[in-house]
């Protein structure tokens, strides 16, 4: 609502705020955009070099995390760490992180729903019973010897 005393920037901010959900409003305190020091932002070439450096470091971290998805290691944690590095300079990365945080929060809330928890406990119990039965059948039929064990001639 524009009361007449609002500046155009305040009116736009109010309109933007109306379209945000609670998670975005909570993180609104951190403005979008570059977090480079003022002396870096003041010089175009230095700022561009800074952004290239941040992009390269973030890319290295994200690629390391992607490799950890198939290798041992906390792949997703490292990928989101790389995204956080990118988010220090790039608005698109900040928006991706906000969206991801919102989705993770929603999933956590859904997981705490008693009906969902009960369903997950039942499914886990059924899976454990089936796995135990299959392991028992395997041990009854083959014992502890592995079927691919090479016999001495």
The yes-or-no verdict on residue 24 having pLDDT over 70 is no
Rounded distance, CA 2 to CA 8, Å? 9
Q: Global pTM?
A: 0.52
Alpha-carbon torsion 96, 98, 99, 101, what sign? positive
Q: What is the pLDDT of residue 56?
A: 94
Per-residue pLDDT band at 151 (split at 50, 70, 90): low
The yes-or-no verdict on residue 18 having pLDDT over 60 is no
List pLDDT tens digits, range 46-88: 878 888 888 999 999 999 999 999 988 888 899 999 999 998 8
The answer to whether 75 and 69 have CB atoms below 8 angstroms apart is yes
Q: How many CA atoms lie within 13 A of 61 on its CB side?
A: 18
Average pLDDT over residues 111-126: 90
The yes-or-no verdict on residue 27 having pLDDT over 60 is no
The yes-or-no verdict on residue 125 having pLDDT over 90 is yes
More confident residue, 152 or 81: 81
3-state secondary structure of 50: helix
Q: What is the pLDDT of residue 2?
A: 44
């Amino acid at each position: 609502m524009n009361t007449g005393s609002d500046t155009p920037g305040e009116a736009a901010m109010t309109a933007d705020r109306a379209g945000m959900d609670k998670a975005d409003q909570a993180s609104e305190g951190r403005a979008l955009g570059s977090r480079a020091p003022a002396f870096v932002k003041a010089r175009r070439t230095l700022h561009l070099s800074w952004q290239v450096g941040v992009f390269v470091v973030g890319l290295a971290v994200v690629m390391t995390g992607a490799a950890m998805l198939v290798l041992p290691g906390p792949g997703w944690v490292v990928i989101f760490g790389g995204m956080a590095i990118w988010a220090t300079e790039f608005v698109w990365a900040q928006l991706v992180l906000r969206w991801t945080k919102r989705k993770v929060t929603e999933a956590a809330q859904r997981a705490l729903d008693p009906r969902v928890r009960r369903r997950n406990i039942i499914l886990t119990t059924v899976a454990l019973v089936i796995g135990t039965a299959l392991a028992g059948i395997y041990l009854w039929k083959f014992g502890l010897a592995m079927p691919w064990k090479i016999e001495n001639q």
